Every structure is written in structure tokens, then in C-alpha cells.
Structure 1
């Protein structure tokens, strides 16, 4: 019989790994709540009509589609099958898909529940998403996103707070990061001044790849999209803009002065950077014009977070998406959000070994089991320990002492309680520190106090 396997791009997580992941989720959740965000959940499945067309042509290809139940080929002619028009067939045999991100389902939620929501609405959501991508380091087909969004407010203070949230989260994790900032209006202004406004998506998709494929390949891709060499030449100094954030802002003000939308983007970015100075933000902030994120729905600020000490892709991203709910029949609702990539953060924390010890510890105390008489004596002690908040186990059978100690070692249980005839006679417990081998004879109350101090 062949060994079972899992789908490429997915992972199993051990108890220790889940403890680490829960540390990530709990840390992010605490910061979201600190900033006044409230939690919602949406289904794993959405109607394809909700998902299609929201992520650009490339994103649509990465949607996992779910076959209709029953005879999904019913009503499909032989000509349609042999014609192999996969896009047309997909719309007939599949009405649902797994969510690609949490933002589009959130926009759908807002539209459906608009009569129950008080705006501005601040929500957070921590759930898995799926993308039919080619698995590689740091890129998975199933992964968690941890999103915070504000809808119903045009204020750029929302962007400021989302960047503060990113700064706070990564400060708590101990990960050194660079937060990269751009604005879609600046990119639109650039496309306008080089005379290629209608190619804004092609331009942004190409320059977003600068870090991955290099300038020469980016220029080749721009040319392949029909952008003339003169316009590509005009793009070069803008793409490769150098200097401090202030110097870049000053240059952009000059370069984009003939573009109303470009000037607006520069003003928005300057406002955000100036407000952040007053917050005492700790991480590095960079204005990066190559940050373009190929998603069609960003209309203003674009945010991306990169780890400085690990070679991995973006670990957090987000931005302003003013017209997303308009796609669902609710125009005029502005939104801005940020999304933490929990799986990539997991990999970064593992590589840098930054988990606090208490975050990955589960059982703190194991009671050795010598037999039925000892079990009866120990059970109230186990309850007492748990009541004091000490994660405690009683070994379930009277196995050899060596086997029980090996169990404690393998499960990284730091303390073992030994209760034999002598201990029962004195109503005490022998507490063994598994790291040092030190043993103490303690009353149950002293045992609680000793473990509570550690």
C-alpha cells in the first residue's frame, strides 16, 4: 500500500508548530483589538461571481473552483466538451470557488449587511485562503491571512493607524522589518505624464516585479505590452528614484506637477509620512515607486512589509480600495486595509528562532502514575493545579517510570510530580525539574506557588 500524502503547497502542523502559530494569531489579534477592530468570519466558499474579475487576469487564473455537486456535466453538449474552452466550461460546471483573499469577501459582507453596520466599520478577520499558485519557498496554496480593514471613512488617519499596527505587531515579534509605501495615484500620474494612461495596469504589473526579475526584464515586459521605447526611457529615472523619503517626495512634486492625480497621490503620501513621524514609529519606512501590487482594486496608498533578516517575499501588505464595494452595487464607500501573511511570519520566526519559550510550552506538569491507589490520591491534586492555571497531565496508566519520564522529555514537559507511598503519607508531592534534575518535597500549595513563579 502506498504512503498517504498531502496536496503540494499545503502543510500539516504538529502540536508544537500549532503552539507557535497560535502565538502568531494571538499576538496579531491582541494588536487588532487594541486599535478597536472587531472580529467577523465569512465562509470558505464564495460564489464565483463574487470572486471573478476582482484580482485582475492573473488573479482569476489562481482561483480554486469547486465543481457543482451531482452531475455537473448535465446540460454540457459534446461540442462544448470537445471544444475545450476551459473558461466557458468552468462557468457552467462550477458556480463556487474557495476565497482568494479576505478583502473581497469582506466587501461582499459589507454590502449584504449594510443596514446592520455602523460606519466607519473596523473589522478584523483571521482565516485561511487558497490560491492555485505554483508552490515554492514562502508561497503556499493554502495559507492564513490576518486582515484589518476600515470602511466608510476617507480619512488618511486610517492608513496611519494601519501602519502603526504593522509596526506594533512586528515589534512584539522582534522581527526587524521595512515598511514600503507607495500610492496608486502616483503610478497613475507617472503613466499619464509618459502618455500611456491606458496602460497603467500593464506598467504597474511589470514594475512590481523589479525585485524579482531585474530592470532589463521589466523593460522587456513593458515593451511586450506595446509601450513605446520613448515612454520606457521616461520611466527609468522614476522607477529607480533614490534618496530619503523627503527627497523623493520633492522630486515627485516636480516630476508630476502636470498631473492632477499624480500631485494628489504625492500629497496623500506626504500626509501619511508626516503623521507617522509624530507617532514614534520604530521600523524603517521607505517610499518605493516599484511597489505596485498587481491587484486591480487599490486606488490610493499601497503598503508592503518586508523582513530585513530573512530572504522571503512580502509578509504583510495592504492599501486603499475606494471603489471595491461599488462592484457589488454599493458605490461611494471608501475602504483601506492591511493583511498579515501568518504562514510567512511563521517561517520568519522559525528561521530567526524568535518564539518566547512560554509561547510554545503546553503541559507544564506531569504526574507520574504508579497505580490505582496513587491515581485516586493524585486526581484532586491535578484538579487543584489546573484550577491554579497550571497546564497539568496525569499519565494515563501505571507504566514503567522510564517510559513516563521519556514521555515528559519528548513532550518538553518541564516538571514532573512524583507521588508514592511516602508522599501520600505526608500529603506532599516530590517536584522534579526536568532540566536540572533538582527535586523538592512540597505541599500541594507550595507546588502551586513554585510553578506559578516560573
Structure 2
């Protein structure tokens, strides 16, 4: 007999875990809408042609591709088995014919595809949010899953509508979200044009740009030596690497970094534009009060997605000494050419993607959910004890009244021993029990027990009960 299991890199979630996740989603959604973003949804899978080539080689490799099903797949394989070498899955032509769809890798590319398809129905600049799962065929490990949720907010419009105030708005948005969660964060920011300028002065050939950014993005996690060896394997010379490596470990403050990069990049127009943009963002942020957020310039930050073109940022929990942890909980940036892949020119987008699962795990680790509300432990607030059909019928008007008031209410399904019903409430973290037995019916009373305080109160009518239950701390 086979024991049930789930695929590696996926998880089941208990009711308690779902209550916490739903709380996070609610906070994030409310803040997205507060900043003017509207919801959309896109399919769980897209055409492979929509996704491929947008994320770099690693992204293409980690994409979950879907095979055609039914007789179509059977016939295709049969035809190739007859005509071709039996090792059919090494045949690129066959693979293209039996798989033309893939599970979405992120929410940004499907969003831009949506914009292009619906451009005549959209008023620009268009601000949308999505909270949906994505899939990556990655090696499962701690805090790295194959199925996980992203919470994305993006703004897209023509170049004429583009402004660095959009980046500032996203920094403010993140600060609002994590302040609500009582979760201090660090936002590391950089600019792809600064990296482009460093590539220019280093002598790295243009065709190695993607390889350079993919390797550089591992600087903080794997260190200088590992990144250097990887770059050398990809064809970047040791001399080119050494010319610019000193900048990626700079620990000085923003002013010192600006001074050093301005001198180094004086011959690069692209690099100078990146410096100008970051200077603008940092100067304006100084005049805006950030509550739970530290903004830092990390020159080694590259973000591996191919579509980023301007300012980029990653979000990390801020521990006591202000240092980074291994995994980010979100990131984003500007992308000026992504829409052109789908035939829409001169459109610029900028957005943020928050990792729901990473945020959840970080808050669990720091015990942050305990400071929010005990109501996260259960979706139900009241359990009516079942004394029998006659008593239940009498109580049902009260049950319906509480539900109409928005108070989550359960009726225990069977008239079993009272201790068993109380145990059910305790095990499911239901804070209040209402007892309507024969004595209560005769006296026209309602008996309510608070399981947290172990106190019991009698009420004259259900309106009084509802009034107390709707208080913040009844």
C-alpha cells in the first residue's frame, strides 16, 4: 500500500497557517489598493513563447513546461518513434510539438502580456496588483519552494509618463506594508545603468552582459572568489574583473560611493545617467519619513531577470545589527523594453514583487504573529453547544443573527457529551461557547463562556451578545 505524499517543493497548509497567510494577503492587498493599484488575474500557465527568453538562461531552464495530453501526445510520440531515433526526448523538434505551454515563472511577464492584449481597454498609466502562485523547477531546499505565492504591484505607461517618483512611491508602499506588519526592513537599491557603465569601463564585451549580471547577483551570497571563477568560466577576463571588483565591496556611505563612481564613470554616459537617477531617489527620500525601512545602496545588486533596465531593489528583514540575511523577501525594479517583446514600443514599467512565503517564514521566526491578534488562530469566533434537536431549533435564529452581523459562528453537529464539544472548541481555538439548553430556554437567557478567561456571562438577548462579541477585546 502506497503512503500518500506530495511533490518535493510543495506544501500543505493547516487552518492556523492559512489564517496567518490570509492576514498577510489582506494587509498587502489593502496597502496596494491604498496606493491606487487595481486587481487582475492571469492564467496559471502561459504559452512558452510568452515566457521564454525573458528571464535569462537560468529562468528558461527552471521553467515547468507542460506536455500536451490525451491522444495528441500519444500520436506524436508514436510518429516520432517510427520515424526517428528511439531516444525521442533528445529531439528538439518533437519537444516543441508536444509542449507549447508552461506554468508561469513570475507575474511580471504575464502582466505585460495582459497589457499588450488589452491596451485598447486600459487607461494609462495602468496600476495593477496580482496575488497568485508561481512555479519554478528549482532544487527544493530551505525557504526555496517549487510552488509559492508572489504579491506584485506594477505601474506601466508610455515613456512620457515615466518618472522616478514611481520608484519613490514603491519604496513608500513597501514601508507602509511592513510598518503595518511591525516588520523592519532594509531595501537595497542599485541601477542597471551603473552596472552597464562599469561593464563599459572594464572592457567586458557587450555579448557577455547577461552572463555578467547573472554572476554578479551572487556576490553577497557566494563571495568575490566564487563570482570571479564563474565569470572567468563565462569568458570574462581576469583583468576586466579586477578593474571594477573593488566597487562591489564598497562599505562607505552614499556620498562617498557617489564620489567614487562619478570619477570612475566619467567617460560612460550610461553610468552617469544611473548615478543621476540614484542621486534623485536618495535626495527625495531624505524628505519623506520612512517608518520601518532603511534604504541602502548596494553596488553588487544586479537582479538576475533579463528585463530590468533601470533602478532595481531587493528587500530584506532588518535584524538587530542591520545586516542582511541569506534570502530576500521581495524585490523589483524598472523595465523599459519588456513590452517591446510583445510588439508595444516606448512603454516603461516599474514594480515590486513580495514573496508571501518568505515573509511568512521570517515573521514566524521572529514570533511576529503573536503580537498581531489571537484571532489569527481560528476563523470561527463562536461555537453553539448542541443539546438536541429542540434546543438547536430554538437557537438557530440566534445563530443566523450572529452570522448576519459578520460573526463567524459554528453549531456542533451532534448532541454528544458536553466535554467533547468543549474540547472541539479548545482544539480549534474557538474563543466563545454559547449554551442554549432547556434551563436557558425556560429562563429566556443566553449563557456565553469565554474560554480564554474561563469566565461565564448570562445575557438577556442575542443583541447584547453580538454587541459584546463585536468589541475589539470582548
Is the CA contact 2:73–2:98 (under 8 Å) kept in the aligned structure 1? Answer: yes
Deviations 1:40-74 (A, max 9, x none): 11111111111111111110001111101233251
Distance 1:386 1:130 in 2: 38
Deviation string for 1:164-193 (max 9, x for gaps)? 111111111111211000010000000001
Contact 2:68–2:99 under 8 Å retained in 1: yes
**What is the CA–CA distance in structure 2 between the aligned matches of 1:80 and 1:348, rounded to whole Å?**
50
SS of the aligned residue for 2:347 comes to coil
SS in 1 for 2:176: helix
Tell me how far 1:341 sits from its aligned partner.
Answer: 0.5
Alignment match, 1:417? 434
Output aligned runs, 1:51-90, within 5 Å: 51-70=51-70, 71-72=72-73, 74=76, 75-76=79-80, 78-79=83-84, 81-82=86-87, 84-85=89-90, 87-90=92-95
- Where 1:334 maps in the other structure, the secondary structure is strand
- Worse-superposed segment, 88-97 or 330-339: 88-97
The DSSP-based 3-state class of the residue aligned with 2:441 is helix
- Of 359-368 and 33-42, the range deviating more from structure 2: 359-368
Query: 2:112 pairs with 107, 114, 121, which one?
Result: 107
**Correspondence 1:149-168 to 2 at 5 A:** 149-152=154-157, 153-168=161-176
Q: Does the Cα contact within 8 Å between 2:151 and 2:356 map onto a contact in 1? A: yes
- Number of residues paired by the alignment? 454
Of residues 235, 244, 247, the one that matches 2:244 is 235
Contact 1:188 1:197 in 2 (8 A): no
Out of 199-208 and 53-62, give the one that drifted further: 199-208
Aligned 8 A contact 2:16 2:377 in 1 = yes
Which residue number in structure 2 is paired with residue 431 of structure 1? 448
- 1:244 maps to 253
Determine the structure 1 residue equivalent to 2:341.
327
Unaligned runs of 5+ in 2: none
User: Take 1:312 and 1:34, find their aligned partners in 2: how far apart are those partners?
Assistant: 31
**1:284 counterpart = 2:294:** yes
2:128 to 123, 129, 132: 123
Unaligned runs of 5+ in 1: none
Give the superposition deviation at 1:88: 4.5
Query: Which stretch shows the higher mean deviation, 240-249 or 182-191?
Result: 240-249
Deviations 1:174-213 (A, max 9, x none): 1121100001000000000111141222221112111221
Please give the alpha-carbon distance, in whole angstroms, between the structure 1 residues aligned to 2:445 and 2:326. Answer: 53
Cα shift readout 1:297-347 (whole Å, capped 9, x = no counterpart): 000011100112394511111111100010011111111111011111111
Question: Could you say which residue in structure 1 is the equivalent of 2:284?
Answer: 275
Contact 2:221 2:326 in 1 (8 A): no
Residue 363 (structure 1) shift: 0.9
TM-superposed CA distance for 1:379, in Å, is 0.5
User: What per-residue deviation string (whole Å, max 9, x for no partner) do you get for residues 229-254 of structure 1?
Assistant: 21111122111112112221222111
SS across alignment from 1:53: coil
Match of 2:331 in 1: 317
Counterpart in 2 of 1:30?
30
Structure 2 equivalent of residue 191 of structure 1: 199
| Cα distance, 1:194–1:404 mapped onto 2, change above 3 Å | same
Counterpart-to-counterpart distance in 2, 1:449 and 1:433: 15
> How many Å apart are 1:426 and its aligned residue?
1.9
Asked if 1 retains the 8 angstrom alpha-carbon contact of 2:377 and 2:429, the reply is no
| TM-score with structure 2 setting the length | 0.93
Return closer, same or farther for 1:313/1:255 CA change in 2, 3 Å cut-off.
Answer: same
Aligned: 1:177 with 2:185: yes
Matched, 1:452 2:456: no
Q: Does 1:17 align with 2:17?
A: yes
Contact kept in structure 2, 1:138 and 1:312, CA below 8 Å: no
Displacement of 1:353: 2.0
Structure 2 distance, partners of 1:209, 1:372, is 66
2:221 equivalent to 1:216 = no
Closer, same or farther: CA 314–111 of 1 in aligned 2, 3 Å: same
Q: 1:260 aligns with which of 269, 276, 281?
A: 269
- 8 Å CA contact 1:187–1:200 kept in 2: the answer is no
Q: 1:81 to 1:322 in 2, by over 3 A?
A: farther
- Tell me the TM-score normalised to structure 1 length: 0.97
